[in-house]
Each structure stands twice: as structure tokens, then as C-alpha cells.
Structure 1
């Protein structure tokens, strides 16, 4: 059963912004993409860089989250690394309740997008 965690206020995450939060034992990068909130494993698959301190950018094919250490890029909605079909960060379900952002780390999403 999914356990939901209250992780941040909506006011802490403006559109186009990404922040790092700790959810249980997980480091999670929260990204606000045009008002839609995504939660992705916050530890870069390359060398453990902090994705929650990365940069969101709009591209012709969608949004990208760039790791601040070595520039690896991920789709925050699917967790897919931009240049690889096999490297994928875990993504976690999110929901908004009132003015709070909630994340469930017990229910890892298996998005195929």
C-alpha cells in the first residue's frame, strides 16, 4: 500500500523550478513543469549528482532536468535519460492537497512514456 508524505508547500516550487527533498530514506527531486509536479530519484545515475539542484529547461521534445555535476539530462515525467533508452531514474507519484505537495515513495511509477 502506498504511503504518502507531505514534502513541500506549492509556494516553495514555482513553475520552472526544481528542489531537493528527503522522503523517508529517498533523495527526491521535485520539478514544477508548467504547473505539473513531478518527483524523480534525486541521485543522478552517472556519478550521484544532486538532480534537485539541477536546472529545468524547455526543449522542442519536452522538458529536461539537467544534473549540475556533469550535464546528464532526464525527462522529469518518465525518468528516462535523454540519450539512452535503457537508463531511467525512478519516478514517484505526486498529488496536491490544498497548498501542499505529497509524494509516495512506496509506489514507484513504471511509466512507459
Structure 2
């Protein structure tokens, strides 16, 4: 790892502090960030909804219904989305993309695990 990459990483929390389905909200500098445990690893989102600046990571972790050609509801992507508590806008936890408007995106941070420690790459 180069020196610049190491300097842009900030300690977020311990691995054991993050439970599946429940983000761990941490403060790094002046930023509030939600750390999520997903099926394939960890993800981090800025705790500000890009719609109206609500605390995005205080909303429920959920899935969504898939569009079908029939009058039915098919629930999918359980545990992969965060729904803003203010207005219900849904965002993909991994990418930060809003489900209804991909131009709207929550800020994400790369996550690095070192032993039992979780670090976020803050320099982008």
C-alpha cells in the first residue's frame, strides 16, 4: 500500500460492532457514516440522503418489489437497500444509487478490513 492510500484511511469501528440488517453509525471527522454488513462483505454510506438531507442510515434496511407483467408482488434484494426515514426514497447500499432516479446517488466509501478493524477510504 502506498503512503497516500494509507493516509486517506480512517478507523471506523470494530467488525463485531456491525450486525447484519442494522447499520453502525459512526462519526469520522465531521461526517456521519453508516457501516453495513451485507452478504458479501461491508459497505459504507454517508448518513445524508441526497434527496432532502435526512439521516439516510436511520431508515430501515430492506429489499424492494420487482416489476412484473402480472398483478403480483415479488420481493427481492432483501437487506441490500436503505430506505430514507424522511420520505422513503430507496438507495442501493453498495453503489449508493437511488432506485427511482439513478442520477441521484448517496456518497459511498470503500471499506477495508484489517484484522478486527474496519477502515474507510475517505480521500475520494
The reply to whether TM is greater than 0.5 is yes
Cα distance in structure 2, aligned partners of 1:61 and 1:81: 14
Aligned length: 107
Gapped runs of 5+ residues in structure 2?
Answer: 65-75
Residue 87 (structure 2) aligned to one of 70, 84, 88: 70
The correspondence of residues 1-113 of structure 1 with structure 2, limited to 5 A, is 1-2=4-5, 3-34=8-39, 36-59=41-64, 60-61=76-77, 63-107=80-124
Large movers: runs of 4+ above 3 Å: none
Q: Unmatched 5+ residue regions in structure 1? A: 108-113
Q: Secondary structure at the match of 1:28?
A: strand
Q: Deviations over 1:38-70 (max 9, x none)?
A: 011210112211122222123425611111122
For 2:103 and 2:29, locate their aligned partners in 1 and report how far apart those are by CA, in whole Å.
27
